[in-house]
Amino acid sequence: ELVWISEVHVNRPAVVRHAEQIKKWRTVKGNWQAAWLLKAVTCIDLTTLSGDDTPSNVHRLCFKAKHPIREDLLKALDMHDKGITVGAVCVYPARVTDAVNALKAAGCNIPVASVAAGFPSGQTPLETKLAEIKLAVQYGAREIDIVISRSLVLTGQWEGLYEEIRECRKACGEAHMKTILATGELGSLANVYKASMIAMMAG
């Protein structure tokens, strides 16, 4: 039962005040700053989602994924032998095979992520979304980045959103799934909260 989701309210002034406070927090400096920046690199999905993507520029992206930081900088930080890479390489489904082959040839185990489910608009039938997800997994994607149907949020169809995300989760099989909310198109912070909760509940 998702009746409770319609009763959620967000205190926007409080959210804005808290966001302003975050900007005043102290930042780490020196070696700690370098350590956190290196950690951030390992969390990046290095991405190309261009209409003119080709195997060659995907291969270049994969090389960058394996070597995201200059060797001289890593040596200066005594991190040159730690195997620092990005978290994943993200491409469209049609380029997944190119990325998988390039990373395999480079001898690294960086996962390939693929956008799917009608990215970026989400304006495709559910059957098409599920087929796209399954194809991306079949091509070798180990992570799937789906995008929700914003129309379901804007019209308050929370059960429909839940079921759609659940179906996408099933289509992913063993692949990890991330859900893109496109918060700038959801209309309100309350809708962002509701969509976030639905996405987590749906898996």
Domain boundaries, the chain: 29-110, 113-203
Give 30's pLDDT tier (boundaries 50, 70, 90): confident
> Over the stretch 132-144, which tens digit does the pLDDT of each residue have?
999 999 999 999 9
Residue 105 CA to its chain's centroid (Å): 24
| Dihedral, 16, 19, 25, 30 alpha carbons, nearest 10 | -150
Instruction: Report, at the CATH architecture level, how domain 113-203 is classified.
Output: Alpha-Beta Barrel (3.20)
> Over the stretch 44-99, which tens digit does the pLDDT of each residue have?
999 999 999 999 999 999 999 999 999 999 999 899 889 999 999 999 999 999 99
Is pLDDT at 1 greater than 80 in this prediction? no
Residue corresponding to tokens 């730690």: 82
Q: How many CB atoms lie within 10 A of CB 57?
A: 14
Q: Rounded to an integer, what distance in angstroms lies between the CA atom of residue 116 and that of residue 92?
A: 7
pLDDT at residue 20, rounded to an integer:
93
Measured CA to CA in angstroms, residue 29 lies from 26, 35, 79 at distances of 9, 10, 18
